[in-house]
Structure 1
Amino acid sequence: MTGWRTIAANKKAQQRALIPKEWTLKQADIPQKAETDVSRIPETCGLLNERELQITNSDVTELLQKLATGEWSSLSVTTAFYKRAIIAHQLTNCLTEIFIERALARASELDTILQRTGAVAGPLHGLPVSLKDQISVKGLESCMGYVSWVGNFADSNSVLTDILENAGAVIFVKTNIPQTLMVISHIIHVRIGRNYNHVFGRTSNPYNRSLTSGGSSGGEGALIAMRGSPLGVGSDIGGSIRIPAAFCGTYGLRPSYGRVPYAGCVNSLEGQDSVPSVLGPFSNSLAGIKTFLKTVIDAQPWLKDPLAVRKRWSDDEYNLADHGNGENLCFAIMWDDGIIVPHPPIIRGLEMVKKALLDAGHKVIDWKPSKHAEMHKCLGDIWAAGAADDYSAVTALVGEPVIPSMSLESEIPVVDIIDNVDTVITPSVSAYQLWQMHKKKRILREEYLQLWENTVRMTGTGRAVDAIIAPAAPYTAVPHGQNKTGQYTMVWNVLDYSTLVIPVSKVDSSIDLAKAPHVFYNEDDKTNYDIYNPVHFANAPITVQLVGRTLEEEAVIAMGEIVDTALKGVKVA
């Protein structure tokens, strides 16, 4: 049997060979390690002409308008984004599958349809769309960071891939993820904000390559941030859309269970249906987020995936019929979760949002979190209930080690090894024990619903809080291997709340100074305080989460537009 290291090396070499020489960066354009911000290199490297820069700097709305009129061909748009995606990959290592000829052939086919019929092939006509590696595309691999899955080619598309292609999209790249999609160690210590595997290596943050892009959809986060794709799809079981969106400064939506079809994707922890993974979009505009979701829902995915929710797109909900029609909204800000106090840039971002909303005529109150530690533990316990068996069954096929329990002589940097050689994954539990975790989760959801409903006494609007504004993490993007918790995102997965990441600003070392020590909640809170140094986090994006309730995607997007518009009217400090 071929060794796992050889399999991984061969796959990576095959990927490198697919990059056209004429799209390869000159050595002079590849910055030295000390030059951490690579986000502007596509603009300056000379590989993209003026029209290609114009195309790739356009948002989804403008792209679709010009594609529909034929002003820009799908071939030219796909070529431009493919070139920029390849540039982004050379700088951040964000891609897995590269299939240029196939994508360009699809784009040419769509151009022919428009020329012949005068009509678009669908609402996404000619638009390049990137997919997280686990989303199946017929004839392509989805190794999902496992060496043992290299060489497994999809026999068919996932349901979502079919829907996107039927809507006229051009699937053009797949993006990098961590091994297993998520990493669980000990009982509830979860590392979902990293992006490393033995096959493709690590994805870096384009705004500061010493920092993580987040995970598990870290390839999507980095690619969208580099404008190498106008619209991408990731997945989220505990923050895996929102963390990379937050760390890379893009918009990202975590929908409720079943709103976007998942059938046909590969995954870890399959059969764990208590807190399922969901698919959702990344984009550089909220218009891109809305366009994706409406397109997918209008395709009636419940007729193709039995777990998809039968809920049509609602213009009433998008127009905020249940939220005062968008007038005089009341937002609640969660300044911290009672477990870890966020770093100064995150607090500044929350303060900016508060000021923007107040200036726009909305009301803002404080959110007092309840039992977030219990929810964090409950979800970690559910994941860990069978994780050891799941990961071992796959990696044992070729002898590949599971990354969190690798020995010190492994190829992964020591900084990414959790507690070094003492790391263990919690052993599997009995069905009865797992049922008790599910029962606990249900009780926590019931209690949180009542907590939200009780805010009607504080809002002054006659209804409960319209949405919560919260950090996506207690920090911005952190150095590789140092994202130690997903608690600020995981709680919303337990509650199944629709949640949107919105960019706010970037770390400024002259403004985001370290604060005096506060009374620490616990040792983790103190550790988080101690790691903050504004110089180390330079240029990292600052974002917030907008949290709505279950299946409130339309309203969450609309309220996100209100917050985004308000922020753009505020001068950044």
Structure 2
Amino acid sequence: MTSWRTIAAKKKAEQLALIPKEWTLKLDDITQQVEVDVSSIPDTCGLLNAKEIQITNSDLPDLLEKLAAGEWSSVSVTTAFYKRAIIAHQLTNCLTEIFIERALARAAGLDDHLQKTGTVVGPLHGLPVSLKDQINIKGLESCMGYVSWVGIFADKNSVLTDILENAGAVIFVKTNIPQTLMWAETFNHVFGRTSNPFNRSLTSGGSSGGEGALIAMRGSPLGVGSDIGGSIRIPAAFCGTYGLRPSYGRVPYAGCVNSLEGQDSAPSVLGPLSNSIAGIKTFMKTVIDARPWLKDPLAVRKRWSDDEYNLADHGNGQNLCFAIMWDDGMIVPHPPIIRGLEIVKKALLDAGHKVIDWKPSKHAEMYKCLGDIWTAGAAEDFSVVTAMTGEPVIASMIPDDEIPVVDIVDKHQIVDALAPGISAYRLWQTHKKKRMLREEHLQLWEDTAGMTGTGRAVDAIISPAAPYTAVRHGQNKSAQYTMVWNVLDYSTLVIPVSRVDPTIDIVKAPHEFYNEGDKANYNIYNPANFANAPISVQLVGRTLEEEAVIAMGEIVDKALKRAQVIETQRNI
């Protein structure tokens, strides 16, 4: 048997060979430093011309408008984003599959169609779109970080790939993930580690960490990740992008490779990442308008609702009431996260909305419930796949050359996942427990109607996406701030707020710790280590409320941008 190391090295060498020499960065002393912000290098490295810089810094609505008008060709837009994606990859290691000729041929075909017919193929006409590695594209690999799956080529597109291409998209790269997908960081034996573009000593998150880094570097205008416990939202939060975790079945999953397949109690979902909420909305409306339930039997039969987007159930968007969850009763977030919540609260109050506090309930039970569901068959699932080559199952994200640091919480779930799972009967009881927790939380939400002053329950919850911003590689030990919303199947949107400033986000005096994990989390905070890391929040709506969550996200985002303008004017 060929050794797994040989297979992995060969695949990585093949990837490197696909990068055009003229798109290769000349790495200098700055770009080789670890603790450095590389997010602006694509604009300054000299590999992109002025038009390509303009294209890649354009917001998605402007891109689509210019593509539809023929002002910019799909070939020129795809080339610009491909070059920027390759630059981003050299700085953060965010890509897996690279297929330049195929993507440019697709773009040329779309340009030809527009020129001959005067019409676009669909709402995404000519737009480059990146996909997380697990989303199948016919003729390409989806090894998903497993050496065992290298050399297995998809014989057909996933349903989502077909929908995006039928809408006119140019699928142009696939992005890096952790082995098994069951990590909140991104590292595997095949492609290696993905770093955070704002500080490469920090993680980009996971499991959609390649997407988070690529979108943040503006190497793609729209990407697709997946989320079983925070895998869209954590990279979005750590990398300062927008990211939506839809409810189960709203976006079709059929045709993707995955871990824990057959586990349908709390399944993974696909969702978008973008540098604007407009990108999130465009993706969701495009996919839903394609009626995915006719192509994937597990897709929910629910059309895009303009009434819901116009917030018909939320006072038509006037005088909304948001509830802020300052902590989850288990781990108190670091100072930058608290400051981010305070910024959001003030912006919403200044915009005329109401803000109350949210008291978390049974988060520890929900966190454990989801962990028990995952680990019921995870050990066998991982061992069956890795046995084909003998590659080891990754049990730590700490870099090999670093001394292990103190754990933030108890062992990461992936370690627990290697232990034997519970019986089928015990699993059924866990499913029952999850249902009961969802019922109780529904009532908890409804009971807030007496506190809001609007005559209805809280419109949305504002929550941390993690108890910290992006942390050092190997330190992201918990996903509890995102996992609870997976248990409840709430639609959740990450919104960027600010960046860590060590002069402002100073260490606070010790609080009364909830537990040893809370104390350990407090102790790892050193402002200098988190400098420049994005600060983000989650906006949490209810099940299948994607339209309303997007609309309320727009309201929050607008309030934040207005507050930023006022602050800038005040400082002039």
Q: 1:366-515 counterparts in 2 under 5 A?
A: 366-404=357-395, 415=404, 425-515=418-508
Q: How has the CA–CA distance of structure 1 residues 156 and 411 changed in structure 2, closer, same or farther, with 3 Å as cutoff?
A: farther
SS in 1 for 2:519: helix
What per-residue deviation string (whole Å, max 9, x for no partner) do you get for residues 142-180 of structure 1?
Answer: 000000000000000000000000000000000000000
Give structure 1 stretches of 5+ with no counterpart. 183-191
What per-residue deviation string (whole Å, max 9, x for no partner) do you get for residues 186-232 of structure 1?
Answer: xxxxxx32100000000000000000000000000000000000000
Deviation at 1:33, TM superposition (A): 1.9
Structure 1 contact 466–548 (Cα < 8 Å) conserved: yes
Deviation at 1:417, TM superposition (A): 12
Matching residue of 1:274: 265
Matching residue of 1:168: 168
Matching residue of 1:185: none
Tell me, in whole angstroms, the C-alpha distance in 2 between the residues paired with 1:395 and 1:412.
24
Q: 1:71-90 counterparts in 2 under 5 A?
A: 71-90=71-90
Matching residue of 2:139: 139
Deviation at 1:105, TM superposition (A): 0.2
What per-residue deviation string (whole Å, max 9, x for no partner) do you get for residues 481-526 of structure 1?
Answer: 0001100000000000000000000000000001000000000000
Deviation at 1:411, TM superposition (A): 5.8
SS in 1 for 2:473: coil
After superposition, the CA RMSD in angstroms is: 1.7
Deviation at 1:32, TM superposition (A): 3.0
Structure 1 contact 255–553 (Cα < 8 Å) conserved: yes
Tell me, in whole angstroms, the C-alpha distance in 2 between the residues paired with 1:463 and 1:481.
43
- Is 2:208 the partner of 1:223? no
Tell me, in whole angstroms, the C-alpha distance in 1 between the residues paired with 2:405 and 2:228.
21
Q: 1:51-450 counterparts in 2 under 5 A?
A: 51-182=51-182, 192-404=183-395, 415=404, 425-450=418-443
Tell me, in whole angstroms, the C-alpha distance in 1 between the residues paired with 2:396 and 2:445.
40
Structure 2 contact 8–147 (Cα < 8 Å) conserved: yes
Structure 1 contact 231–288 (Cα < 8 Å) conserved: yes
Q: How has the CA–CA distance of structure 1 residues 64 and 41 changed in structure 2, closer, same or farther, with 3 Å as cutoff?
A: same
Structure 2 contact 396–474 (Cα < 8 Å) conserved: no
SS in 1 for 2:493: strand
Q: When the two structures are superposed, what TM-score results if normalisation uses the length of structure 1? A: 0.96
The 4+ residue runs of structure 1 with deviation greater than 6 A are 416-420
Tell me, in whole angstroms, the C-alpha distance in 2 between the residues paired with 1:403 and 1:414.
17
Matching residue of 2:518: 525
Tell me, in whole angstroms, the C-alpha distance in 2 between the residues paired with 1:142 and 1:416.
33
SS in 1 for 2:395: helix
Q: How has the CA–CA distance of structure 1 residues 180 and 299 changed in structure 2, closer, same or farther, with 3 Å as cutoff?
A: same
Q: How has the CA–CA distance of structure 1 residues 344 and 139 changed in structure 2, closer, same or farther, with 3 Å as cutoff?
A: same
Deviation at 1:28, TM superposition (A): 2.6
Matching residue of 2:15: 15
Structure 2 contact 344–556 (Cα < 8 Å) conserved: yes
Match of 1:516 among 482, 485, 509: 509
Tell me, in whole angstroms, the C-alpha distance in 1 between the residues paired with 2:207 and 2:288.
24
The letter of the residue matching 2:458 is V
State the percentage of identical aligned residues: 82
Structure 1 contact 29–41 (Cα < 8 Å) conserved: no
Structure 1 contact 29–45 (Cα < 8 Å) conserved: no
Q: 1:548-559 counterparts in 2 under 5 A?
A: 548-559=541-552
Tell me, in whole angstroms, the C-alpha distance in 2 between the residues paired with 1:245 and 1:423.
24
SS in 2 for 1:477: coil
- Is 2:526 the partner of 1:537? no
Deviation at 1:428, TM superposition (A): 1.9
SS in 2 for 1:546: strand
Deviation at 1:35, TM superposition (A): 4.6
SS in 1 for 2:301: coil
Q: How has the CA–CA distance of structure 1 residues 29 and 125 changed in structure 2, closer, same or farther, with 3 Å as cutoff?
A: farther
Tell me, in whole angstroms, the C-alpha distance in 2 between the residues paired with 1:350 and 1:325.
24
Deviation at 1:74, TM superposition (A): 0.1
Tell me, in whole angstroms, the C-alpha distance in 1 between the residues paired with 2:216 and 2:58.
13
The letter of the residue matching 1:11 is K
Structure 1 contact 404–417 (Cα < 8 Å) conserved: no
What per-residue deviation string (whole Å, max 9, x for no partner) do you get for residues 223-247 of structure 1?
Answer: 0000000000000000000000000
Tell me, in whole angstroms, the C-alpha distance in 1 between the residues paired with 2:483 and 2:155.
33
Deviation at 1:416, TM superposition (A): 9.3
Structure 1 contact 416–480 (Cα < 8 Å) conserved: no
SS in 2 for 1:232: strand
Deviation at 1:414, TM superposition (A): 5.8
Deviation at 1:429, TM superposition (A): 1.8
Deviation at 1:570, TM superposition (A): 1.1
Tell me, in whole angstroms, the C-alpha distance in 1 between the residues paired with 2:199 and 2:351.
33
The letter of the residue matching 2:256 is C
Tell me, in whole angstroms, the C-alpha distance in 1 between the residues paired with 2:553 and 2:93.
30
Structure 2 contact 34–200 (Cα < 8 Å) conserved: no
The letter of the residue matching 1:214 is G
Tell me, in whole angstroms, the C-alpha distance in 1 between the residues paired with 2:89 and 2:125.
25
Matching residue of 1:188: none
Structure 1 contact 61–287 (Cα < 8 Å) conserved: yes
Deviation at 1:405, TM superposition (A): 7.2
